[in-house]
Amino acid sequence: MNWYSTISHIVKGTDEEGEQTAHPYADEEYDAKDDVGKNAILEEESGAKKIPVQGSQGLVWHAWVVSDTFDDPRHCIEGELKPRRPVPHVRESDVCGAEASLKEQTPGCWVYTGALNGWPALHDLQLQQIKCKEAPMFQLPGMDTTMDTPRLGLGSIANKALSVWDASNQTTAPVLPEPIPALTRLTLRAPAWSSRGWSEAAPGFVFWYWPGPTVQESRVTHGEAMIPAMLEEQAASGEPVPCATRAHHIAHRYACAHIEGPKDRVTYHAAVLLEWDHGRHCTLVELAWWNGIGGYGGKSNWVHDKLAKPAPALYDAMPPCMKGPWCSDRAEIRAFDVPAKTLEEFEAYLHKYSHEGHDARFLEPEVAQSADVCLSHRSQVDIMRALLNYVACNGDYVEESQNCQTFAADFFSYITSHQVQPFHPVCRVLYQSRVLSFLYGPPFQL
């Protein structure tokens, strides 16, 4: 799958529409081809390698550097760089100069101390390298060749790129060539814990959303912090920890504004709906792109206020560490408490957002299987631990073989003892069951 189609199509496992035409932070239409690339984590300039989930090194990020006079309307609003772009960009004065965000914290260690391009999750990143490349001498479709209006977003500048500063062999302050080349890129590394969780204190790329009666009472907890938060809440209420009683394997296609193509017709999202013994609400559990909610302005198909302005309650409840660019080859697991108390009420929700219109979300929603939860240990805490185990062992997202459908099949099989396959035949070809991953802890020392 090429990079253009990676951005143009929201593929299996996301909870966004089949076509993302508007950037969540831009007032005008967003052209995905302006931000072509892996969007987040690239270990090397080719983009071929990924940081391992159970790694000891921090995640690597790239950012484009543009001149202080850069004013391309595709990337600027009233002369200011558009904030929170999928591939971050900064001005040269942010890198070098008296007011630069790049600071020397220890001898030879230069750290970008501010929020990179306005992303709350991207701060305190250590500079690894600065590379430059002149604009090409020939015109490619959709690419500018002028020095002052580079086409930003390409994840790689490997061909004939010149390294002008490298932390491994430099003791002097970072410098930029003058004038700054058309393609100038920073490589930065996050702290070591970033490959294991959104925050150092709470490893694990799983989050749980508890919507409250008001925006202020809604909350999101993530990683290992989910379990003490749940136990504290139940202790305060005097009620026992909820236990899962019944599970439903849900699948749907995405409603989209354009005419469906061949890929759209076989692109299904799958998830598992849990019923609890308290009977007050259900929980929707899914696997999807990493930062696919925090990087898309909190827009989820499983909340009524998805299109609320200025932001859904889900986004307001998310901690800053979860608000960073999305990545299509890494995974996160999400659990949403939904108002529906029964399967019938949840089916009514699916039906409500299945009609054509401004907020159409689902096509052909279907309950593929339903069964009782058969686990001996099936409390909400037990479910949280199983999800943390699974994502620690299976942190990659692979469209063809490790996606939302394979997770839903694994999770439904695990909690019900019914051995099921991914929903669509296309995903069954390379499917390998990973049910045992729910049982065992992370393969690394925290």
Q: What is the pLDDT of residues 353-364, one digit of tens each?
A: 997 666 789 999
Q: Is residue 121 a contact partner of residue 198, using CB atoms and an 8 Å limit?
A: yes
CA torsion angle 72 78 79 85 (round to 10): -70
Q: Kindly report the backbone phi and psi dihedral angles of residue 423, in degrees, each rounded to the nearest multiple of 5, phi listed first.
A: -60, -50
Question: For 164-196, how does the pLDDT look when each residue is reduced to its tens digit (9 = 90+)?
Answer: 899 988 778 898 988 888 889 999 999 999 999
Q: Rounded distance, CA 332 to CA 392, Å?
A: 10
- Write a three-state SS string for 308-376: CCCCCHHHHHCCHHHCCCCEEEEEEEEEEEECCCCHHHHHHHHHHCCCCCCCCCEEEEEEEEEEECCCC
The pLDDT of residue 357: 63
Which amino acid, 377?
Answer: H
Q: What's 53's DSSP letter?
A: T
3-class SS at 236? helix
Estimate to the nearest angstrom the gap between the alpha carbon of 96 and the chain centroid.
30
Q: Is the pTM of this model over 0.85?
A: no
The position carrying tokens 């001898």 is 107
Q: Which residue has the higher pLDDT, 162 or 394?
A: 394
Question: For 271-325, how does the pLDDT look when each residue is reduced to its tens digit (9 = 90+)?
Answer: 999 999 999 999 999 999 999 999 999 999 999 999 999 999 999 999 999 999 9
Task: Answer yes or no: is pLDDT of 55 > 50.
Answer: no
The pLDDT of residue 310: 92
Question: For 27-40, how does the pLDDT look when each residue is reduced to its tens digit (9 = 90+)?
Answer: 223 333 333 233 33
The residues pairing with 65 across neighbouring beta strands, listed in sequence order, are 90
Helix%, strand%, coil% for the chain, nearest 5: 20, 25, 50
Question: For 388-446, how does the pLDDT look when each residue is reduced to its tens digit (9 = 90+)?
Answer: 999 999 999 999 999 999 999 999 999 999 999 999 999 999 999 999 999 998 764 33
Q: Kindly report the backbone phi and psi dihedral angles of residue 35, in degrees, each rounded to the nearest multiple of 5, phi listed first.
A: -125, 40
What burial class does residue 130 get, using C-beta atoms within 10 Å of its C-beta: 0-12 exposed, 13-18 middle, 19+ buried? Answer: buried
The pLDDT of residue 97: 82
